[in-house]
Amino acid sequence: MTRLEEQRQAVSQALENQDQRISAIETSQKIVEEQLQQVKDQVKEMIREELRELSAGERSLTAAAPAFPDRHTGVVAKPYPYNGKTSWDIYYMQFENIARMNNWSNEEKSLCAYIHAKRLCRSYFGKSLRIRPT
């Protein structure tokens, strides 16, 4: 065998080895892409489920008004008392929306939240509960 043939054979072997490595990498890449797609599908399903749960909770709290009223036209909507059955985040978001629709000041929001908290405490501890003003 001549030196040129030996070099040609070595190059061919190196190319074949590279092709095998590339093939193995491509196979691994396909497997990873399939696994990634499965994870994406699972995450999408989890998000859909979470949105369904949030939508169900929001529907039970919805008290939407057609427009933001003038401050002197009266209350558009009243927030429901917090009962602990729905997520606090959902309740708080709904409370803030109602406060914005009613154009409540921070003092009015505080008073409403205080009244609801007082009612909640009374429902747990009985009507004899007295909350002293500060």
Give tens-digit pLDDT for 73-128.
Answer: 566 788 877 777 878 788 888 888 888 888 888 888 888 888 877 776 666 666 55
Residues 10 and 30 in one domain: yes
Q: Are residues 28 and 81 in the same domain?
A: no
**Residue 51 and residue 1 share a domain:** yes
pLDDT tens-place string over residues 24-65? 999 999 999 999 999 999 989 998 888 888 877 666 555 555
Please tell me whether the overall predicted TM-score, pTM, comes out greater than 0.95 for this model.
no
Q: Is residue 131 part of a domain?
A: no
Structural domain including 24 reads 1-62
Burial 108-133 (b: 16+ CB within 10 A, else e): ebeebeeebeeeeeeeeeeeeeeeee
Structural domain tally of the chain? 2
